[in-house]
Amino acid sequence: MDGRRAVEQRAPDSAEPQSRSRSRSRSRPRPGSRSQASAPPPEGRRDAYTRVSVRALPPLLIVAGVLYDLLTPQYFTAAPFLSAAPLVAAPFLSLGVTVWTGVAATAAMVLVTVRFAVDASGITEIATVATVACLAVVINRLVSSNNARLASAHAIAEAAQRAVLPEPAARIGGLDLAARYVAAQTDALIGGDLYAVQDTPHGVRLIVGDVRGKGMGAVAGVAVAIGAFREAAEQEATLEGVAQRLERALMREGVRRSTVEVFEGFITAVLAEIPRDGHGVRLVNRGHPGPLLLHGDGSVRTLAAAEPALPLGMGDLAAWPDRAQEEEFPRGAMLLFHTDGLSEARDEQGVFFDPARQLSGRVFTGPQDLLTDLVAEVERYTGGGAADDMALLAVRRP
């Protein structure tokens, strides 16, 4: 009897789609904006398709292998199909499903082999499928162990994120607030963007900023900036004084740290002070994107810095007195503070997202509604592929 010829088959790859949250827009889309029909399929539906495909693939491979062996000449073999089945099940399905897939694939290999006189080639093919099935069980255990460690690391990162960057209350000092942090990488919670809100004797003071760099060095910068801001916001009589306290705190931290890799040393930030009386807001901008002022009639205006300034922590390069600029903030209007992850988000053609243009002509019921719609709009615009973290803070004067 002729020996069967082994044919190698690579197991198909499978990619987990990126997590993308769905949000329902309560406002009317701006004319000329992207339609819902052009948006990516809902994430829940895509997840369901993926799960069904992964679960169906191992049995389909076994059936395909049996049919291939039955419908082809004797020297063709089903071993590649049957070996692939448990390998596909191993990283995506449970241990029990992986074991039963391996048993079914080995049994199928035995059945198609005994149709002919069993020789050394047939025994080798049975042993190959059985060995691959055992290897698939080992892979399943390794993947499960890694997933458990990743879940533990994710829980720790989430706890650290909440400790370093807690979400502000929905109402502070008579103002309505909402904050959102959107990480560029799936399941990545800790980054260099920051926000903080403090109710002080001088009014509600807040900061939104972006630490240079990534990783633990950026997290260290976030912790230093927020700690210094909360102390200075209570003690300093002016917003300019708060900025100078932050400057000194970052300079001290830069001296204390031994390497640049541990602490990057500067932060772009915008600080705001909203007095309890009056209809204005004071701003100190240190190299950060200006906030947007959204009026109740749908008009939008960017509150750009009156004078360009270096980021916080770069006082050794140049020094000048901070001057707070006064802007209107009438009742019923909202302020949107954001990091450059919003204004530098790009579509598939590389065109930047323009928040002022996208929000113009739209009316929102409150800060939470604004951020929910804005995050959904950015996800549709980028296709879920944002390259930078995005921190958003919306404030409304009722």
Angle at 89 between CA 85 and CA 90, to 5 degrees: 115
Phi-psi region of 61 (alpha: psi -120 to 50; beta: other; left: phi over 0): alpha
The count of C-alpha atoms lying within 13 angstroms of the C-alpha of 79, restricted to the half-sphere facing its C-beta, is: 22
Q: What is the pLDDT of residue 211?
A: 87
Helix (H, G, I), strand (E, B) or coil at 171: strand
Q: What is the pLDDT of residue 322?
A: 81
Q: What is the pLDDT of residue 348?
A: 86
Residue 272's nearest CA partner among 213, 355, 311, 329 is 329
Residue 182 near residue 248 (C-beta atoms within 8 A): no
For the chain, residues with pLDDT lower than 50 are 1-42, 187, 260-263
Residue 109's nearest CA partner among 124, 92, 125 is 125
C-alpha span between 267 and 225 (Å, rounded): 8
C-alpha span between 77 and 276 (Å, rounded): 80
